[in-house]
């Protein structure tokens, strides 16, 4: 099976996320992402490719991951949440990161215990 290149998948994924998942017009997505509606049209038709910054803006506006838009993953659920978690983590002070790591360690251990009890 041949894997599609991100540039081939992107227009379809962008349109799908905009129309089917978020139920937005091109203009509404453009407003959310801080872009021109004509740019959204060009991206969806494949005549132009977004810059890295615009790709991130689109992903944030659609609440999906850039990996989803580029076809690297097929699952939409959870992808945006993990991206947001990573961005939030990156903005924390080292002290807060250490606390977050402790909390995640506790939750991971708890999850393992629950799994082994089943």
SS3 115: helix
* Predicted structure pTM score: 0.64
Domain boundaries, the chain: 6-77
Alpha-carbon span 65 to 72, nearest angstrom: 10
Fold held by 6-77:
434 Repressor (Amino-terminal Domain) (1.10.260)
Sorting pLDDT into bands at 50, 70 and 90, what band is 1?
A: very low
Residues 87-112: tens digit of each pLDDT: 788 889 999 999 999 998 999 999 88
SS3 67: helix
Q: Which residues, 6+ apart, have CB-to-CB distance to 37 below 8 Å?
A: 26, 27, 30
Sorting pLDDT into bands at 50, 70 and 90, what band is 86?
A: confident
């Amino acid at each position: 099976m041949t894997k599609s290149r991100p540039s081939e998948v992107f227009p379809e994924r962008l349109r799908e996320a905009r129309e089917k998942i978020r139920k937005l017009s091109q203009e509404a997505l453009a407003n959310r992402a801080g872009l021109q509606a004509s740019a959204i049209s060009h991206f969806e038709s494949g005549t132009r490719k977004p810059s890295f910054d615009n790709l991130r803006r689109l992903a944030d506006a659609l609440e999906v991951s850039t990996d989803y838009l580029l076809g690297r993953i097929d699952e939409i659920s959870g992808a945006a949440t993990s991206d947001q978690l990573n961005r939030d983590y990156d903005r924390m002070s080292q002290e807060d990161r250490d606390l977050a790591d402790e909390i995640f360690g506790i939750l991971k251990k708890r999850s393992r215990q629950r799994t082994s009890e089943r």
